[in-house]
């Protein structure tokens, strides 16, 4: 589904990714771990096509298309979803309204009929139950006055409604207390399926106690320096990241 | 005394010779302004003597005034002797015969705004006679209003048919001496609208569609007077979302509202005059004086405006809260794009006891535009327990535009409560990217964010118009990001 080859990228003239390789197949869950500044969030933002993240080399093929050629909204409509590390507030814009517009933009792109207000409401209420969210969320401004946990839950709700093919979750666990973490992880787990791939970007192993990955990659200095299964995450937890860097440069 | 061109002299000379008869061939008076031009306008309109006297007083006062310079706007000096102050309604003969002859670009804009088909022709200047639908619609409205006892007509008709009402109320809210442009308007206004809602009557419809159909050619010095008697209610909608074609660069309108005891006037404006091109060439100078007088106890006047057009907008719809427990409101969205300059805001003058006012101003700047909010909240010693709440938000799109806020508060009564909140934000690249990442187009994303920003104002607009206003905003900001 996703094939990243020797990807290099810079932010503000500073080289962050230095030849990153990653293969992700449908049905898999990959965890990308690494110390601060290793390029985890840069990878997530490059995949989503954020302005200011300049690709200086390499390639990203997504479902037989050159992903880097697509505009951010085209990537989204093709099924690439980014759960933001810091979901932004959009005052005055109704949460449900944004989500409905997004869903219908994607459905239109796929040649499917747009959902009317009733169909949409039925769908979103069903998904909200999954996330243990109160219906009042729908009528609030997008992330407006949401707590950190509410924002992250809202991201996963959007993912549950939009049903992406490739979901990149950027530090979705950060700032969550243990109850919120459990709910968010439960939501993500329920969205695991044979035709969907999930990439978890995280600093801590803790999230992986709840979402069991098929692969764990260690990112360091803008490259993947080590790949393993979930046990690698546990090893990182006890030994820290330094040894992987040494192993890579050895 | 202003000088005038030989043509005017010649023209006026001829007119005098014929003793003010109206059989004058010329439709347009030559450029220039003096007392004879004012006499000409007044006689051409068959006005009673009190009105001519009033115009002349206004003119004489205007001569003693200088153009105000305090607004945060810049323009070339205006040559008041280069303007023609009277032009009879243009013959439709020169206009396009059907929509097929109208600039397709203009039609495209109407389409985007969702203007009903039968109105597009009128707006584009197609001969109205050809549009049977709207004429009959207007006639139906008129009958319905007459039944309720509401007077709604052009200012000229009102002068002719209801001179006593005009004499009683004209200039009582905005005296001709009020300011430079109000004085000029008082001297030379040619037409406008008049609304009178008698005691206890609730106007049976929004005075909107009717107006929109009949608004064409009211001229550059427009005069509006709305009087709501005791316990009456009226909602009036001025302007149009569609870009109006107009050859006159200077517009100096005056609007006066009078609300007696327990009366309520809701006045909504959508202003979309030609803003000039993307290089700042051309465009309308819109210098307007709007004021409402809450003359009666428990009366209420509410201004809602969406200002997207004009090269320069200079406008402060205000409320004089004279009656005890009267209420003034001002809700404004002002958009300035490219080289547009907007200096707008309001004045709330609290005189009566327990008077309340609310100000919600949303300024949006894009391109190289400058957008200023200027507001005065004045609490006089008599206004025990007066309250004001002001919220003033600015949204910047791009990094070459400006937003400015000039709030003035004068509280002379210790029991008054005045609150002021102000924010300035940039349309977040983060917000934009968030929407794009969910699959929205950039255009839809910008619209959504901007409309969210303006929500508090849009919900004050009459329902059907709120939708058009949202569309208008997106058309005005087309290409502002990216």
Interface test with A, best of B424, B437, B444 (most A CBs within 10 A): B437
In whole angstroms, give the CA distance from residue B264 to residue B266. Answer: 7
Nearest CA to CA, how far is A233 from chain B (Å)?
29
Closest by Cα among A72, A89, A136 to B452: A89
Of all residues in chain B, what percent carry a pLDDT higher than 90?
38
A97 touches chain B (CB under 8 A): yes
B455 touches chain A (CB under 8 A): yes
Nearest CA to CA, how far is B429 from chain A (Å)?
9
Check CB contact under 8 Å for B438 and A98. yes
CB proximity under 8 Å: B 419-448 to A:
428-431, 433-442, 444, 448
Alpha carbon B196 to chain centroid, angstroms: 18
Nearest CA to CA, how far is B472 from chain A (Å)?
18
The residue with tokens 């009879």 is: B88
The three state secondary structure string of chain A is: CEEEEEEEEEECCEEEEEEEEEEECCCCEEEEECCCCCCHHHHHHHHHCCCCEEEEEEEEEECCEEHHHCCHHHHHHCCEEEECCCCCCEEEEEHHHHHHHHHHHHHHHCCCCCCCHHHHHHHHHHHHHHCCCCHHHHHCEECCCCCHHHHHHHHHHHHHHHCCCEEEEECCCCCCCHHHHHHHHHHHHHCCCCCCEEEEEECCHHHHHCCCCCEEEEEECCEEEEEECHHHHHHHHHHCCHHHHHHHHC
pLDDT at B105 (0 to 100): 65
> How many other β-carbons are positioned within 10 Å of the β-carbon of residue B30?
18
Which residue segments constitute the domains of chain A, with CATH numbers given? 2-249 (3.40.50.300)
3-class SS at B272? coil
Strand partners, B286: B251, B313
Task: Provide the pLDDT confidence category of residue A205 given band limits of 50, 70 and 90.
Answer: confident
> What is the average pLDDT across A46-59?
94
Find, in chain B, the residue whose alpha carbon is nearest to that of A74. B439
**Could you give the C-alpha distances from A166 to A1, A2, A64, A147, B401, in angstroms and in order?**
8, 8, 14, 26, 39
Check CB contact under 8 Å for A71 and B439. no
In whole angstroms, give the CA distance from residue B106 to residue B63. Answer: 40
Residue ranges in B189-323 assigned as alpha helix (H): 209-214
In whole angstroms, give the CA distance from residue A68 to residue A56. Answer: 11
Q: Which residues of B130-143 are buried (b: 16+ CB within 10 A; e: fewer)?
A: ebeebbebbeebee
**Could you give the C-alpha distances from A125 to A128, A135, B406, in angstroms and in order?**
5, 7, 46
> What is the average pLDDT across B9-36?
50
In whole angstroms, give the CA distance from residue A205 to residue B82. Answer: 78
Of A92, A97, A103, the CB nearest to B453: A92
pLDDT digits (tens, 9 = 90+) for A113-164: 999 989 999 999 999 988 888 888 888 889 988 888 889 999 999 999 999 9
ipTM of the complex: 0.94
> What is the average pLDDT across B294-322?
91
Task: Provide the pLDDT confidence category of residue B97 given band limits of 50, 70 and 90.
Answer: low
In whole angstroms, give the CA distance from residue A240 to residue B157. Answer: 87
Neighboring chain A residues of B431 at a CB cutoff of 8 Å: 88-90
pLDDT digits (tens, 9 = 90+) for B168-194: 999 999 999 999 999 999 999 988 889
């Amino acid at each position: 589904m996703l094939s990243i080859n020797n990807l290099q990228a810079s932010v503000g003239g500073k080289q962050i990714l230095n030849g990153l390789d990653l293969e992700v197949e449908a049905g898999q869950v990959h965890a990308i771990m690494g110390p601060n500044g290793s390029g985890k969030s840069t990878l997530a933002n490059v995949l989503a096509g954020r302005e200011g993240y300049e690709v200086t080399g390499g390639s990203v093929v997504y479902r037989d298309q050159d992903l880097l050629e697509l505009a951010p909204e085209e990537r989204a409509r093709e099924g690439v979803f980014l759960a933001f590390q810091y979901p932004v507030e959009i005052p005055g814009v109704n949460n449900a309204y944004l989500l409905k517009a997004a869903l219908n933009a994607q459905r239109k792109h796929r040649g499917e009929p747009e959902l009317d207000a009733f169909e949409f409401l039925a769908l979103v209420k069903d998904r909200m139950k999954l996330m243990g969210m109160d219906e009042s969320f729908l009528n609030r401004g997008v992330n407006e006055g949401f707590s950190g946990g509410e924002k992250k839950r809202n991201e996963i709700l959007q993912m549950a409604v939009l049903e992406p093919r490739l979901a990149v979750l950027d530090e979705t666990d950060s700032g969550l207390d243990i109850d919120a973490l459990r709910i968010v992880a439960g939501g993500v787990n329920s969205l695991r399926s044979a035709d969907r791939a999930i990439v978890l970007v995280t600093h801590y192993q803790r999230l992986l106690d709840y979402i069991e990955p098929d692969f764990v990659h260690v990112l360091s200095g803008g490259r993947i320096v080590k790949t393993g299964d979930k046990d690698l995450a546990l090893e990182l937890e006890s030994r820290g990241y330094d040894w992987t860097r040494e192993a890579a440069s050895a | 005394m202003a000088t005038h061109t030989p043509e005017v002299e010649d023209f006026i000379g001829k007119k005098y010779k014929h003793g003010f008869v109206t059989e004058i061939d010329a439709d347009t008076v030559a450029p220039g302004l003096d007392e004879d031009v004012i006499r000409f306008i007044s006689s051409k309109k068959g006005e009673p003597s009190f009105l001519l006297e009033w115009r002349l007083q206004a003119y004489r006062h205007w001569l003693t005034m200088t153009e105000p310079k305090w607004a945060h706007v810049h323009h070339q000096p205006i040559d008041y002797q280069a303007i023609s102050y009277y032009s009879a309604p243009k013959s439709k003969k020169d206009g396009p015969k059907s929509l097929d002859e109208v600039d397709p670009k203009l039609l495209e804009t109407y389409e985007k705004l969702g203007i009903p088909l039968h109105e597009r022709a009128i707006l584009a200047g197609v001969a109205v006679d050809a549009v049977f639908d709207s004429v009959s619609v207007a006639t139906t409205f008129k009958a319905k209003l007459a039944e309720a006892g509401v007077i709604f007509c052009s200012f000229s008709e009102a002068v002719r048919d209801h001179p006593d009402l005009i004499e009683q109320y004209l200039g009582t809210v905005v005296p001709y001496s009020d300011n430079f442009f109000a004085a000029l308007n008082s001297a030379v206004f040619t037409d406008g609208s008049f609304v009178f809602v008698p005691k206890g009557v609730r106007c049976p419809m929004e005075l909107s569609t009717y107006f929109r159909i009949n608004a064409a050619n009211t001229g550059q010095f427009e005069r509006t007077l709305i009087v709501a008697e005791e316990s009456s209610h009226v909602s009036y909608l001025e302007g149009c979302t569609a870009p109006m074609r107009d050859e006159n660069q200077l517009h100096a309108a005056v609007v006066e509202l009078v609300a007696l005891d327990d009366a309520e006037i809701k006045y909504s404006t959508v202003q979309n005059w030609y803003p000039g091109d993307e290089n700042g060439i051309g465009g309308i100078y819109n210098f307007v004086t709007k004021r409402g007088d809450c003359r009666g106890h428990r009366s209420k006047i509410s201004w809602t405006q969406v200002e997207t057009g004009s090269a320069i907008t200079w406008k402060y719809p205000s409320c004089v809260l004279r009656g005890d427990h009267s209420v003034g409101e001002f809700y404004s969205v002002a958009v300035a794009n490219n080289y547009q300059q907007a200096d707008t805001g309001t004045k709330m003058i609290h005189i009566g006891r327990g008077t309340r006012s609310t100000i919600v101003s949303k300024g949006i700047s894009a391109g190289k535009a400058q957008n200023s909010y200027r507001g005065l909240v004045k609490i006089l010693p008599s206004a025990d327990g007066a309250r004001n709440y002001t919220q003033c938000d600015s949204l910047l799109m791009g990094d070459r535009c400006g937003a400015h806020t000039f709030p003035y508060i004068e509280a002379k009564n210790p029991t008054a409560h005045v609150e002021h909140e102000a924010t300035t934000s940039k349309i977040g690249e983060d917000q934009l990217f968030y929407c794009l990442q969910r699959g929205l187009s950039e255009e839809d994303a910008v619209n959504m964010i901007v409309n969210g920003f303006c929500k508090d104002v849009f919900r004050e607009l009459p329902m059907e118009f709120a939708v058009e206003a949202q569309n208008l905003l997106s058309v005005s900001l087309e290409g502002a990001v990216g």
